[in-house]
Amino acid sequence: MAVIETVLGDITREDVDAIVTAANESLLGGGGVDGAVHRAAGPRLAQAGGAIGPCEPGDAMATPAFDLDPPVRHIIHAVGPVWEGGDHGEADVLASCYRRSLQVADELGARSVAFPAIATGVYGFPADQAARIAVATIRSTPTNVQRVRLVAFNEDTRKHLQAAVTATG
């Protein structure tokens, strides 16, 4: 069972083995956290992403971390669901993003992973529901990852993440 920590900050500053980015299916980069990760990792990230993409919503694929500083060795690209009101399987796709990211982290031998609040920005997923899904999925996914950092970029998201962690003990 991984230890789950919530933190307010910039995921590109995290000292973990792997950071997860909220990507789009092309894996060529975009705005939001994906833009920050691509800016920090450098242009080789888009080349590597383009070579392995597309990535289906709910799936996760790994590349090296390129220009990101150690100890970060891997970037896990997860594609979240676009929020369409909640009746189109969005919760299951979001849960799958966390589950698949942990599975990919295990394949990489990563023991510490940082996640952004996948799908809660451009894709419009309500942050409180997304936080509960993230924590419940991380807690229920068998993994060798020992430390999960849920990185919020704003205080509202951090409150939802912390509430979800506290609620599930």
Distance, in Å, from the CA atom of 64 to the CA atom of 106, rounded to the nearest integer, reads 15
Residue 143 makes contact with ligand APR by CB under 6 A: no
Contact between 126 and ligand APR by CB under 6 A: the answer reads no
By the rule CB under 6 A, 117 interacts with ligand APR: yes
Residue 43 dihedral angles phi and psi, to the nearest 5°? -65, -20
Q: In degrees to the nearest 10, what's the CA dihedral of 146, 140, 150, 89?
A: 150
Question: Least distance (Å) from ligand APR to the CB of residue 30?
Answer: 2
Residue 34 falls in the annotated catalytic set: yes
> Among 80, 90, 104, 162, which residue interacts with ligand APR (rule: CB under 6 A)?
80
Q: Which is nearer to ligand APR, 35 or 71 (CB)?
A: 35
Strands (DSSP E) found in 51-109:
60-64, 74-79
47/144 with CB nearer ligand APR: 47
Closer residue to ligand APR, CB minimum distance, 85 or 169 = 85
Cα–Cα distances in angstroms (integers) from residue 4 to residues 30, 74, 102, 109, 137, in the given order: 27, 19, 13, 18, 12
Chain positions 23 to 42 lying near ligand APR, rule: CB under 6 A, are 23-24, 30-36
d(CA 47, CA 65): 12
131 forms part of the interface with ligand APR (CB under 6 A): no
Angle of the 155-167 helix axis to the 127-140 helix axis, nearest 10:
40
- Active-site residue identified among 10, 15, 17, 34: 34
Residues belonging to the active site: 34
List residues binding ligand APR (CB under 6 A).
10-12, 22-24, 30-36, 80, 116-123, 151, 153-154, 157
